[in-house]
Amino acid sequence: MKKKLVCLCNMVTSAEIEAALSAGACTTEGIQNKTGAGTNCGKCLVEIDTMVDEFNRNRKPDPQQKFDF
């Protein structure tokens, strides 16, 4: 994916958000905590939500969550 600026307020790029997603921040709140994106005006939150949803949709299922007791 091409690197672009997602959060203008905090100068956070798509590459930084993807790195945070890969490091385990798989919610919008997690991305906010890890990168600071979306913590000022909030205009970028829709794009961050979309990136989080896409990441989680494409993520391989955790084998530990296979069983629901």
By CB under 6 A, name the binding residues for ligand FES: 7-10, 37-44
Question: Which lies closer to ligand FES via its Cβ, residue 9 or residue 26?
Answer: 9
Tokens in use for 19?
């790195």
Cβ 35 to ligand FES shortest distance, Å? 10
Cβ 49 to ligand FES shortest distance, Å? 12
d(CA 26, CA 18): 10
Please state the separation of Cα 6 from the chain's center in Å: 11
Tokens in use for 32?
């906010």
Cβ 6 to ligand FES shortest distance, Å? 7
